Structure 1
Amino acid sequence: MEVAHPNARAVVLRVEVPQRLDHLPGQHYVIRLRAEDGYTASRSYSLASAPDEEVLEFYVEELADGEVSPYLAEAVEVGDELELRGPIGGWFVWDGRTPAVGIGGGTGVVPLVSMLRHARRLGTEGLFHLAVGARTLAELPYADELGEAHAAVALSRERSAAGRPAGRLAAAEIAPFVDPQSTYYICGSAGFAEAASELLMSLGIPPGAVRVERFGPSG
Structure 2
Amino acid sequence: MALIWQESRIVAAAPETPRVRRLTLAVGWDRPFRAGQHVDVRLTAPDGYQAQRSYSIASSPTRPEAIDLLIERLDDGEVSGFFSDVAEPGDAIELRGPIGGAFVWEPAQGGPLLLVGGGSGVVPLLAMLRHRAEAAPDVPALLLYSARTAADVIARDELIRRDAGEPGFGLRLALTREPGGRRIDAARIGEALAALGGPAHTFVCGSNPFVSAVSDLLVDAGVPAATIRTERFGGETP
How high is the TM-score relative to the length of structure 1?
Answer: 0.91
Q: Distance in 2 between matches of 1:158 and 1:180?
A: 30
1:144 to 157, 166, 182: 157
User: Separation in 1 of the partners of 2:203 and 2:176?
Assistant: 21
Number of equivalent positions: 212
Deviations 1:82-119 (A, max 9, x none): 11000000000000231121100110110010001101
Greater CA drift, 73-82 or 127-136: 127-136
Give the aligned partner of residue 77 of structure 1: 88
Give the alignment's Cα RMSD to 1 decimal.
Answer: 1.6
Measured after TM superposition, the shift of residue 39 of structure 1 is 1.1
Task: State the match for 1:101 in structure 2.
Answer: 114
Within the alignment, does 1:29 sit opposite 2:39 as a pair?
yes
Q: Do residues 153 (structure 1) and 173 (structure 2) align? A: yes
Q: Indicate yes or no: 2:230 matched with 1:212.
A: yes
Tell me which of 5, 9, 14 is aligned to 2:19.
9
d(CA) in 1 for partners of 2:50, 2:73: 18
Q: Which one of 166, 181, 184 corresponds to residue 202 of structure 2? A: 184
Q: Give the share of equivalent positions with the same residue, in percent.
A: 40
Amino acid at match of 1:117: R
1:98-177 correspondence runs (5 A) = 98-99=110-111, 100-124=113-137, 126-150=139-163, 151-159=171-179, 165-169=180-184, 170-177=188-195
CA deviations 1:48-103 (Å, max 9, x no partner) are 00002142000000111222100011100111011100000000000023112110
Deviates more, 1:80-89 or 1:120-129: 120-129
Residues 141 and 196 in structure 2, CA contact (< 8 A), matched pair in contact too? no
3-state SS of paired residue (1:104): strand
Q: 1:177 to 1:90 in 2, by over 3 A?
A: farther
SS at match of 1:191: helix
The Cα of 1:193 is off from its aligned counterpart by 0.6
1:66 to 2:84 alignment: no
2:126 partner letter: V
Please give the alpha-carbon distance, in whole angstroms, between the structure 2 residues aligned to 1:90 and 1:75: 32
**Gap change, CA 1:149 and 1:176, over 3 Å in 2:** farther
Q: In the alignment, which residue of structure 2 is the partner of 1:162?
A: none
Unaligned runs of 5+ in 2: 1-10, 164-170
Distance 1:86 1:209, change over 3 A: same
| Structure-1 separation of matches of 2:29 and 2:233 | 29
Stretches of structure 1 lacking an aligned partner (at least 5 in a row): 160-164
Confirm or deny that 1:203 pairs with 2:227. Answer: no
CA contact (8 A) 2:148 2:178 kept: yes
